[in-house]
Amino acid sequence: MINAVRRTLFDRGSWAEAGRIADILRKETLGGALLLAGAAAALIWANSPWSAGYEALRRVTVGPAALHLDLDLATWAADGLLAIFFFVAGLELKREFVAGDLRHARRAAVPVAAAVGGVLVPAALYLLLTRGTAGAAAGWAIPTATDIAFALAVLAVAGRFLPAALRTFLLTLAVVDDLIAIVIIAVFYTADLAPVPLLAALAPLAVFTALVQRRVRSWWLLLPLAFAVWALVHASGVHATVAGVLLGFAVPVVRSRRAGGLEAGPGLAEHFEHRFRPLSAGVAVPAFAFLSAGVTVGGLSGLATALTDPVALGVVAGLVLGKPIGVMAATWLVSRFTRARLDDGLAWVDVLGLALLSGIGFTVSLLVGELAFGAGTERDAHVKLAVLAGSLAAAMIAAFVLRLRGRAYRRIHEIETADLDHDSVPDVYQDPSPADRA
């Protein structure tokens, strides 16, 4: 009698895919360090005797008034720079599901389910804790997003030997999180929709799509079209970051048949990702953090007042409790219904560590807070402090849990490193052979 092959959670993917993920994580880890530096600088400045200068900087207006783009720097950071962040997220998500390891439903099921669970549970917990508080329901989506750069900065310190499959899981979960977040922003945080500019945005988007499908890379053609799409989406009332995702989805992942197709190596999406990820991680996200995280605390009494606001409590609980519960529950359910087991050497405490890391919600959480309650309002200030407090708490707890398994991660890392010492490396778009997986 032949035993059925049992499904495995968090098994290793192809070698080239692991190398590509490692390269992404290195860039995002540096971006996380810059993000933390930007947020710290903003907090220090906003609580110094020169805090008026920080607010004056955020309110500096630049841009052409004729196009209704005379926006202050804080708005440019939230609407403009984060469009680059979501463009890269769109590229990454499409690449993963078209040509990456996650094109296989078996591999995609776990991070996608975990991302969905990590959105539903914190949102429900937030609404439960803020029920009866006037206007609080608008912020239900604040604790639902994971900040991959911040999370990877923590991972670089506390889990540097974390197995490649778990790193890939965290990255994919965060990317799917971002996609869900942008859908939430487009659907639930669009107050006044102007259909004419939104329909007009389809024209430059169609031209951009046609050019990239023909593998055109000329920046002097593509950037003006991308800017036109962004400006028209911004004018429509839909948050302008949606334009970034649409543009990312338009870029082809694989080479044309004439150029060799799937087996010929990286396509235009990966080319753009290499170009724009450093700009996103190194400039766009840290600049947004610097221009958004600065909030006057008002000493211990001010901090206590802010964090006892039901909205703030809901945000902290959603990040520290809701995210890990949602991620863990969804992952366990996938394991239960597919009868899958964890890969050799892994334990559920490892999944718990990653689930706790997913509670680090910074960039998108701050953005949703501004959209929900209005930038600069008292409640927005409470949200910012709650996001900072919740993210730091999640980071510290996750670091503690991951440290407990440090020796096990080192053993797995040694095995994976030894396995990489072979003569033949599969193509970046090919599945690993049985010999590679042995």
Give SS3 for 77: helix
What single-letter DSSP state applies at residue 216? -
Residue 210: its pLDDT value, please? 95
Q: Which amino acid is at 315?
A: V
Output the pTM of the full model: 0.84
CA–CA separation, 9 and 15 (whole Å): 17
Query: Are 386 and 312 a contacting pair, CB within 8 Å?
Result: yes
Locate 302 and state its tokens.
């001010």
What single-letter DSSP state applies at residue 65? G
Other Cβ atoms closer than 10 A to 362: 31
Q: How many residues does the chain have?
A: 438
Query: Are 81 and 287 a contacting pair, CB within 8 Å?
Result: yes
Query: Are 398 and 156 a contacting pair, CB within 8 Å?
Result: no
Other Cβ atoms closer than 10 A to 371: 22
* Distance from chain centroid for Cα 377: 26
What single-letter DSSP state applies at residue 148? H
3-class DSSP string for 274-297: HHHHHHHHHHHHHHHHHHHCCCCC
Degrees to nearest 5, angle at CA 239 with 149 and 188: 95
**Bridge partners, residue 72, by sequence:** 61
Degrees to nearest 5, angle at CA 159 with 423 and 125: 125
**Bridge partners, residue 71, by sequence:** 62
CA–CA separation, 227 and 206 (whole Å): 13
Residue 96: its pLDDT value, please? 78
CA–CA separation, 46 and 39 (whole Å): 10
Residue 404: its pLDDT value, please? 87
Degrees to nearest 5, angle at CA 288 with 286 and 292: 120
Q: Which amino acid is at 60?
A: V
**Bridge partners, residue 423, by sequence:** none
State the maximum Cα–Cα separation within the chain, in Å, rounded to a whole number: 78
Degrees to nearest 5, angle at CA 146 with 144 and 152: 165
Residue 192: its pLDDT value, please? 81
Q: Which residues in the chain land under pLDDT 70?
A: 1-7, 11-22, 25, 101-102, 159, 256-266, 416-438
105-143 residue pLDDT tens: 777 788 899 999 999 999 999 999 999 999 999 999 999
CA–CA separation, 167 and 173 (whole Å): 10
CA–CA separation, 168 and 22 (whole Å): 9
**Coarse DSSP helix, strand, coil percentages of the chain, rounded to the nearest 5 percent:** 75, 0, 25
Residue 99: its pLDDT value, please? 77
Residue 305: its pLDDT value, please? 84
